[in-house]
């Protein structure tokens, strides 16, 4: 998850990049986020910060406002938090624990659909991210994105005549997909049990399913209509 990045530039979507994803025109498409969906991002970031003598306190559904020096009540300066966040992607994200049931669920979904992993990780993290996915049995095409994911999801969904589905932990990305590609079924998934009660939801707009076996069944049902 990455709820409060600075205002992002608009992503340029290149057909040549989309070509590499192998989206089959005659199959449904499922687009899945990584952090806090396939991987335990908050837990991994917390461990990384602990290694630097800092504390990550799960007090709200946010990133930089949850980083503290031990014993202090004011969170770390947001710019300094941002630096640790970028470092985590470069140096620490390879150790992230996969979300329970995620790999098996993706295997099941991939019997019914093309699958693309769509992550808002910084470009420098691409190789580590792809290796992490492969090491944990989730070696599907990876697309990095900047900013809200709706435009990219719409461009990917346009490559098939069949149904599409999108999974993310963040309402901002789910709303963006609802705007740009309203026919795409949307699911919110929050992997970390500590975050679940803190994560904002819009269940009338985006179905919220926090366990992967149930989510996989719901995705398959949505794309089989």
Gyration radius of the chain's alpha carbons:
17
For Mg ion, the closer of residues 3 and 141 by Cβ is 3
For Mg ion, the closer of residues 162 and 210 by Cβ is 210
**Least distance (Å) between residue 1 CB and Mg ion:** 4
Among 18, 21, 35, 64, binds Mg ion (CB under 5 A): 35
If you ran DSSP here, which 8-state letter would residue 103 be given?
H
* Distances 62 to 10, 58, 211 between C-alpha atoms, Å: 22, 8, 21
For Mg ion, the closer of residues 169 and 175 by Cβ is 169
Chain centre distance of CA 210: 13
State the Cα–Cα distance between residues 46 and 90, nearest whole angstrom.
15
User: Is 192 an interacting residue with respect to Mg ion (CB under 5 A)?
Assistant: no
**Least distance (Å) between residue 24 CB and Mg ion:** 25
DSSP string, 135-149: HTT----EEE--S-S
Among 21, 29, 31, 33, binds Mg ion (CB under 5 A): 33
For Mg ion, the closer of residues 35 and 175 by Cβ is 35
**Least distance (Å) between residue 103 CB and Mg ion:** 17
* Short-list 30, 44, 50, 186, CA closest to 117: 30
Q: What share of the chain is helix, strand, coil (3-state, %, to 5)?
A: 40, 15, 45
- Number of chain residues interacting with Mg ion (CB under 5 A): 5
**Least distance (Å) between residue 195 CB and Mg ion:** 11
For Mg ion, the closer of residues 25 and 85 by Cβ is 85
State the Cα–Cα distance between residues 67 and 65, nearest whole angstrom.
6
Quick note: the x/- pattern for Mg ion over 136-175, rule CB under 5 A, is ---------------------------------x------
For Mg ion, the closer of residues 1 and 31 by Cβ is 1
Among 18, 21, 32, 36, binds Mg ion (CB under 5 A): 36
Token code pair at residue 14: 């290149």
Where in the chain does DSSP place strands (E)? Answer: 29-32, 55-56, 67-68, 114-119, 142-144, 164-168, 185-188, 207-208
Q: Write out the residues near Mg ion by the rule CB under 5 A.
A: 1, 33, 35-36, 169
């Amino acid at each position: 998850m990455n709820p409060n990045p600075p205002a992002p530039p608009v992503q340029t979507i290149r057909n040549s990049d989309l070509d590499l994803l192998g989206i089959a025109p005659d199959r449904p498409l499922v687009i899945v986020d990584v952090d806090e969906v396939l991987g335990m991002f908050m837990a991994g970031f917390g461990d990384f910060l602990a290694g630097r003598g800092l504390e990550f306190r799960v007090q709200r559904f946010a990133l930089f406002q949850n980083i503290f020096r031990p014993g202090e009540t004011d969170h770390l300066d947001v710019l300094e938090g941002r630096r640790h966040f970028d470092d985590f992607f470069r140096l620490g994200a390879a150790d992230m624990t996969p979300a329970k049931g995620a790999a098996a669920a993706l295997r099941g979904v991939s019997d019914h659909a093309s699958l693309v992993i769509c992550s808002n990780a910084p470009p420098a993290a691409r190789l580590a991210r792809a290796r992490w996915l492969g090491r944990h049995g989730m070696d599907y095409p990876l697309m990095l994105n900047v900013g809200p994911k709706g435009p990219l999801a719409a461009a990917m969904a346009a490559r098939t005549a069949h149904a599409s589905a999108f999974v993310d932990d963040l309402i901002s990305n789910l709303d963006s997909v609802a705007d740009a590609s309203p026919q795409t079924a949307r699911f919110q998934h929050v992997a970390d049990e500590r975050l679940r009660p803190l994560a904002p939801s819009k269940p009338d707009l985006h179905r919220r399913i926090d366990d992967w076996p149930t989510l996989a069944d719901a995705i398959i049902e949505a794309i089989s209509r």
